[in-house]
């Protein structure tokens, strides 16, 4: 089994977007593995009446990162939950523009999240996490990086939608 068969196939995209997608995918897998080991280790420590506060704080930091990067993973595959009862009844042309409108709204929100996310990072280099004593900016960076990656995937999807590429063509593995 090769590394490429372990992950859900990515839709066709330029190599830069596919590469970003793979980096995001493997980062989520690595963070998830680290979180599993940390939590297991801390549970084992509880058997001896011990608790490592740094494990809890690092787990919270990693949870922020994996949450926002996981959102980017879903965005690159068109896997976010959607209620499509109404837009599925539209003809192809109207469906395309409805999809474009939704993607545009998502992109607008992601632009705001990205802008304010990076502002939070910039403003929090002097604040420290309580136990780890790392800059709080590292935790906020998970939101900024995840929203930036998601924005790239959403903008690419919007560009394809406006060009007339159907959802079935954009995401053949999702159906």
pLDDT number for residue 2: 59
Indicate whether 111 pLDDT > 80: yes
pLDDT number for residue 116: 97
Q: What percentage of the chain reaches a pLDDT higher than 90? A: 71
| Lookup: tokens for 140 | 């906020």
pLDDT number for residue 36: 95
- What is the separation, in whole angstroms, between the first and last Cα of the chain? 24
Instruction: Enumerate long-range contacts of 158-162, CB under 8 Å, 24 or more apart.
Output: 158/100, 158/103, 158/104, 158/107, 161/96, 161/99, 161/100, 161/103, 162/96, 162/100
pLDDT number for residue 5: 66
Instruction: Enumerate long-range contacts of 51-55, CB under 8 Å, 24 or more apart.
Output: 53/131, 54/131, 54/132
pLDDT number for residue 21: 94
C-alpha distances in Å from residue 141, one per residue of 12, 99, 114: 28, 29, 10
Per-residue confidence at 172, pLDDT binned at 50, 70, 90?
Answer: confident
CB atoms within 10 A of CB 142: 21
| Lookup: tokens for 148 | 């930036």
Per-residue confidence at 122, pLDDT binned at 50, 70, 90?
Answer: very high
Per-residue confidence at 85, pLDDT binned at 50, 70, 90?
Answer: confident
Weakest mean pLDDT among 4-8, 39-43, 73-77, 93-97: 4-8
Indicate whether 1 pLDDT > 60: no
Distance of CA 152 to the CA centre of its chain: 11
Mean pLDDT over 77-95 rounds to 87
Indicate whether 4 pLDDT > 60: no
């Amino acid at each position: 089994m090769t590394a490429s068969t372990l992950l859900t196939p990515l839709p066709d995209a330029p190599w830069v977007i596919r590469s970003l997608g793979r980096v995001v995918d493997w980062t989520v897998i690595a963070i998830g593995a680290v979180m599993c080991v940390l939590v297991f280790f801390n549970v084992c420590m509880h058997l001896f009446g011990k608790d490592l506060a740094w494990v809890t704080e690092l787990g919270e930091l990693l949870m922020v990162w994996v949450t926002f990067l996981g959102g980017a993973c879903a965005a690159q595959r068109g896997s976010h939950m959607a209620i499509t009862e109404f837009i599925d009844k539209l003809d192809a042309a109207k469906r395309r523009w409805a999809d474009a409108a939704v993607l545009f709204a998502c992109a607008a929100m992601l632009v705001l999240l990205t802008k304010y996310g990076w502002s939070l990072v910039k403003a929090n280099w002097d604040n420290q996490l309580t136990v780890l004593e790392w800059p709080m900016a590292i935790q906020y960076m998970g939101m900024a990086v995840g929203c930036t990656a998601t924005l790239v995937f959403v903008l690419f999807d919007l560009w394809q939608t406006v060009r007339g590429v159907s959802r079935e063509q954009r995401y053949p593995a999702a159906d």
